Structure formats: structure tokens, C-alpha cells
């Protein structure tokens, strides 16, 4: 495929291309231009040129265009979900969910963008008007990872466009195809330069967006390491940064939790997208008395999950995205075992010729000295640790540098309240892990990031604030000179 700059399908100025492969079969699906800093700068120039006119398009017209984009995605729903399955790997139903969430997010911001553009506070004096105006920034640079390439992108471009910004997108190197098709099929009616996609590595294209003086706002989802790099690289420019970074989400099972439902909830929370979710459950705390029965039921449940290519209807768990990612998970398991943990099921590479598959693992006997309980594993692992009191469970949940999400299973209102008051995480899920809400903000505390996506907060992320003070009569004031 080609990339989309200034309303044209173009190659890189370098002429280079890079392959996109299917992680289930390791077959090359297609190639995309290997964009360079020059290509990124070309797209920024187009977005900057398109901005003054786009900013003046009425909010209702922008809403119509966003609704039209959502409708066109609905028309190509199956094609988008299938292509996403081929390049990203997770099972088709998870990709259908991703496309569904994405187009609903576009509809949500289409309406939100025309709802308000500021507020009118009381003025300090008679005959005056105070206006708080929300204005777009200009060009928004949007950089996303491969695990939810469409959803995480739409969380950025839908509010950015609704707020009146133009956008330059750098998709992840591993998953640019569905993004290009989405723009081709659903965003072709936007004026040239309003939406641009520059494929190519983050270190070439993303980094150029990050440093470019004409890109005043960067919306990034990815690792904490790259987030820190972006913060350092932009410190001198006072850029507005929205950084959605890594996590090490805890799941606390309370002593009143119904065993069967908690086991099902946990398997889903930890293994959806093969555990490659920023808010994936990465560590679990179970009451000591419950642990033997709970771990046995969980291991039995996890062992029954069917591994396979995401495109097969019989698949529950797809491949991981790549060999290095899988090797890291195996290292985390080996480190835990070397320190005394026990693997109840999984953790092995299955006997298949192709694809980055790994059997989902359940571990017991883990503690916080192990990498699997401290570092982001980003794979199909469920380490279970025993706790004695609910105080201890909360302390363990908070014993991390991250603060993205946290889950609890309980019907005890006192425990629920303590959990959401005391656990430091941007999202708290009670009894329904990982369900997002367009109207509810999403993002991280601590090292998990800065800023929020979704909700009104997600729109405000793409607005800057201006205060207008207007004395309508304009007479001479008694507090002016002379004193």
C-alpha cells in the first residue's frame, strides 16, 4: 500500500518499503512505505496548511463528517475486522469489538465536539463579559502501538478532529495496514491535509513529529520508555503531551467472590489479546484460604482455551505479536520459577511450525521479588499470590511504579469502596474487568502516563484555553493613573 499525505496516496521520498507480516503464519501480507523524517515533515506541512480552513469549518459540519466516517466504517466492518486480525493476530471477535468500539467513539466525539466550546464565568464588574474559549492547537501528532491500532488511534483522531485540529498519524510499524484502509474507506471525504498517515518506524517518523516545531500537541500510546523519551525530547518546546503508557495491573479477588465467575473474569482480563493489553491483568491476589481451590479451577479453565490463528472461528487465544515479545514472557516465567514459583499450566511454546504462539500460563508461589510481579510482562501469564488481609491486598496492589488500571471481584460494598478510594490507578474495574466506556476517561497515574483519553477529558486534551475579558462600554476606570 501507499501512505496518505495531503489527500494523495504516495510513496516515501526514499522509495523504501517495509513488509507487514501475519504473526500467526509469518507470511508477508503487504508492504508499506518506509517513511523518513522528510516524509513526516511533508505531512506536517500539509496538516499545517489545512489547519486554518479546518478550524473555521462549523462544528456541526465537522460532526457530519465524523458521523459519515463512522458510517463508512460500518459499511466495511467485516473487511476492517478481518484485516486487523491478519496483521495484529488476536481472535476475530476481539477485532470486531475493536472496530465497533472505534466507530462508536467517532460518533460520540462527533456530538461532543458540537456541544460546547467553553464557558461564561461571572465577570468582575458590571457591563463586562468574560469568555473562556476552547481552541484547537493546530497539528496533532498521533503515535500508536500495534496492540489496538485502530481503537487507540480513534481515541486520538476523533476528539482531535472534532476539536478542530488536523492530524498526522504514525501507525506502529507492525500494524499499519488497517489504518491505511480505514483512512481510504472512511476518511476520504475530509479536506486534503486534515488527516495524514505516514508509515515508517517510530524512530524516524514518530520522532520527527515529536520534535517538529509545527506540531504543538503529541498524543502517544506506547511504552513508558518511549514516553519518557518524548517528554525529554520536547521539554524545551513546552509541547502538550498526552502519554498513555505501560501498566502492571493488579486483580484482587475478595474472600466473598463467587469462584466460577471470578475465574472466568480473570481468564478474560489476563488473556484477552494474548495478554498484550496495557490494562491486562498482570498480577493476581487471592485470599490464602481460597488459593488452592481457586488456582486449580483457573488452571483447568486456562488449559481448555484453544490456541490458534485469530482468523479461525475456534480460536480463543491468538499468537503473540513477535518472537522477542514471546521470549520476554518466557524469561519472566523462568525468573519466577528460579525463585520458587510453580507453573500449574502452560508457559510452553506449542508444537506448531509457524506463528508466535505461547500456551497461557498460570503460576503460584510468586512474590514481589520476581520480575513477573514487577515488570510489564505483556503476555499470556496469570501469576497468583496469596494474601491474608484486605489491607495487605490493597498494599500489594499499590506496590508498583505503574497506575493504569486495577480490578476487584467482590460484592462487599465496604471492600469495593475501600478499593476504589485507596488503589492508585486511572481506571478501577469492579466485577467487569477491562470494559471501557466512551464517556468515561481512560489513562494512567504514576508511571502509566499523563492525561486522559475518552470522555470530555479526551476532547479537552485537544483544546487549549483562552480567557477573553471584555468591558463593553469601555469607560475610564477609577483604578487607572493617577493613584
Measured from the CB atom, the residue of 125 and 236 that comes closer to ligand NAP is 236
Q: Which residues in 92-188 belong to E strands, given as ranges? A: 118-119, 128-136, 139-143, 166-170
**Can you read off the three cell numbers belonging to residue 270?**
489476563
Shortest Cβ distance from residue 427 to ligand NAP (Å)? 10
Place of cell 488536523: 166
Shortest Cβ distance from residue 364 to ligand NAP (Å)? 25
Shortest Cβ distance from residue 421 to ligand NAP (Å)? 22
Sequence-ordered list of residues with C-beta below 8 angstroms from that of 405, at least 6 positions apart, any chain: 247, 249, 279, 425, 426, 427, 428, 429, 434
Place of cell 494512567: 444
> 142 and 230 in contact (C-beta within 8 Å)?
no
Hey, is 230 helix, strand or coil? helix
User: Which residue of this chain has its Cβ atom nearest to ligand NAP in the complex?
Assistant: 202
**Can you read off the three cell numbers belonging to residue 281?**
491483568
Measured from the CB atom, the residue of 143 and 408 that comes closer to ligand NAP is 143
Measured from the CB atom, the residue of 70 and 230 that comes closer to ligand NAP is 230
Sequence-ordered list of residues with C-beta below 8 angstroms from that of 478, at least 6 positions apart, any chain: none
Shortest Cβ distance from residue 245 to ligand NAP (Å)? 5
> 46 and 196 in contact (C-beta within 8 Å)?
yes
Measured from the CB atom, the residue of 68 and 233 that comes closer to ligand NAP is 233
Shortest Cβ distance from residue 160 to ligand NAP (Å)? 16
Closest CA to 185 of 34, 345, 71, 16: 71
Residue 473: CA count within 13 A, CB half-sphere: 7
**Can you read off the three cell numbers belonging to residue 56?**
473555521
Measured from the CB atom, the residue of 37 and 287 that comes closer to ligand NAP is 37
SS3 content of the chain, % helix, strand, coil (to 5): 40, 20, 40
Shortest Cβ distance from residue 222 to ligand NAP (Å)? 3
Measured from the CB atom, the residue of 300 and 401 that comes closer to ligand NAP is 401
> How far, CA to CA in Å, does 33 sit from each of 40, 123, 145, 182, 198?
12, 54, 18, 17, 8
Edge-first strand listing for the sheet containing 240-244 = 8-10, 3-5, 195-197, 166-170, 139-143, 217-221, 240-244, 449-450
Residues near ligand NAP, by CB under 6 A? 143-147, 152, 170, 172-174, 201-203, 206-207, 210, 221-223, 226, 229, 244-247, 278, 376, 378, 404, 444, 449
* Catalytic (active-site) positions: 244, 278
What angle in degrees, to the nearest 10, is found between the helix axes of 77-88 and 59-75? 70
Measured from the CB atom, the residue of 91 and 206 that comes closer to ligand NAP is 206
Closest CA to 244 of 54, 445, 431: 445
Place of cell 503515535: 143
Shortest Cβ distance from residue 438 to ligand NAP (Å)? 15
Measured from the CB atom, the residue of 229 and 374 that comes closer to ligand NAP is 229
Shortest Cβ distance from residue 43 to ligand NAP (Å)? 14
> 114 and 134 in contact (C-beta within 8 Å)?
no
Amino acid at each position: 500500500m501507499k501512505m496518505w499525505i495531503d489527500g494523495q496516496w504516495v510513496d516515501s521520498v526514499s522509495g523504501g518499503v517495509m513488509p507487514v507480516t501475519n504473526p500467526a503464519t509469518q507470511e508477508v501480507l503487504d508492504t508499506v512505505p518506509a517513511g523518513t523524517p522528510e516524509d513526516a515533515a511533508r505531512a506536517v506541512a500539509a496538516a499545517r496548511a489545512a489547519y486554518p480552513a479546518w478550524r473555521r469549518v462549523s462544528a456541526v459540519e465537522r460532526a457530519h463528517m465524523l458521523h459519515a466516517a463512522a458510517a463508512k466504517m460500518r459499511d466495511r466492518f467485516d473487511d476492517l475486522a478481518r484485516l486487523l486480525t491478519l496483521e495484529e493476530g488476536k481472535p476475530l471477535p476481539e477485532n470486531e469489538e475493536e472496530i465497533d468500539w472505534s466507530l462508536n467513539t467517532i460518533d460520540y466525539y462527533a456530538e461532543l465536539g458540537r456541544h460546547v466550546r467553553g464557558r461564561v464565568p461571572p465577570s468582575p464588574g458590571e457591563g463586562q463579559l468574560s469568555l473562556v474559549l476552547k481552541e484547537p492547537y493546530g497539528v496533532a501528532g498521533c503515535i500508536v502501538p500495534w496492540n489496538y491500532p485502530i481503537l487507540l488511534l480513534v481515541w486520538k483522531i476523533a476528539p482531535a478532529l472534532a476539536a478542530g485540529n488536523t492530524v498526522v498519524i504514525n501507525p506502529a510499524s507492525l500494524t499499519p495496514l488497517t489504518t491505511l484502509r480505514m483512512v481510504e474507506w472512511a476518511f476520504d471525504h475530509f479536506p486534503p491535509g486534515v488527516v495524514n498517515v505516514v508509515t515508517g518506524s517510530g524512530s524516524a517518523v514518530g520522532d520527527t513529529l515529536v520534535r517538529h516545531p509545527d506540531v504543538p500537541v503529541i498524543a502517544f500510546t506506547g511504552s513508558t520508555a518511549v514516553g519518557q523519551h518524548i517528554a525529554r525530547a520536547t521539554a524545551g518546546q513546552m509541547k502538550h503531551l498526552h502519554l498513555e503508557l505501560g501498566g502492571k495491573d493488579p486483580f484482587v479477588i475478595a474472600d466473598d467472590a463467587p469462584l466460577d465467575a471470578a475465574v472466568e473474569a480473570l481468564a478474560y482480563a489476563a488473556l484477552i489479546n494474548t495478554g498484550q493489553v496495557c490494562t491486562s491483568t498482570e498480577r493476581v491476589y487471592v485470599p490464602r484460604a481460597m488459593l488452592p481451590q481457586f488456582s486449580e479451577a483457573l488452571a483447568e479453565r486456562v488449559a481448555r482455551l484453544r490456541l490458534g490463528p485469530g482468523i479461525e472461528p475456534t480460536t480463543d487465544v491468538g499468537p503473540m505479536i513477535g518472537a522477542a515479545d514471546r521470549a520476554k514472557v518466557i524469561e519472566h516465567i523462568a525468573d519466577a520459577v528460579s525463585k520458587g514459583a510453580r507453573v500449574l499450566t502452560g508457559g510452553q511454546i506449542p508444537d506448531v511450525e509457524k506463528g508466535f504462539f505461547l500456551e497461557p500460563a498460570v503460576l503460584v508461589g510468586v512474590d514481589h521479588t520476581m520480575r513477573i510481579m514487577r515488570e510489564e510482562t505483556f503476555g499470556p501469564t496469570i501469576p497468583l499470590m496469596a494474601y491474608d488481609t484486605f489491607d495487605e491486598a490493597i498494599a500489594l496492589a499499590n506496590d508498583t511504579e505503574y497506575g493504569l488500571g486495577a480490578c476487584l471481584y467482590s460484592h462487599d460494598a465496604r471492600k469495593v469502596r475501600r478499593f476504589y478510594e485507596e488503589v492508585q490507578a486511572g481506571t478501577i474495574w469492579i466485577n467487569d474487568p477491562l470494559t471501557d466506556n466512551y464517556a468515561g476517561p481512560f489513562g494512567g497515574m504514576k508511571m502509566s502516563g499523563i492525561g486522559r483519553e475518552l470522555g470530555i477529558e479526551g476532547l479537552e486534551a485537544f483544546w487549549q484555553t483562552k480567557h477573553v475579558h471584555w468591558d463593553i462600554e469601555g469607560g475610564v476606570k477609577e483604578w487607572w493613573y493617577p493613584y
